[in-house]
Structure 1
């Protein structure tokens, strides 16, 4: 279990690093746009991301 969690975290870091590596200007613009969103909008984005991830895990398993 601990090894799988480490693998998942490592993969997350790799995936999150792809966009800033390939498109640093666009990534910065996206982060600035995200900073302008309200807390409610950010919470909804977070919820949608969690639900999509959960559905994807369920589908893959």
Structure 2
């Protein structure tokens, strides 16, 4: 029983409870804005980790900074 608690298994009733608490805290109008921001953050994180289509990371190098 302790192993199940430590694994963090979340059932459907716990998810419903979490959703209700979020609705009470933020309200229905604020949730889409929060999810949009979360989606943008995840997308930027993935773009930062994965290389772009050319196989190179899209980052500024020190040589770009030396030109200034």
TM-score range, shorter chain: 0.3 to 0.5
Higher relative contact order, chain-length normalized (CA < 8 Å, sep 6+):
1
Structure with more of its chain in helix, by fraction: 1
Compute the TM-score of the two structures, normalised by the length of structure 2: 0.43
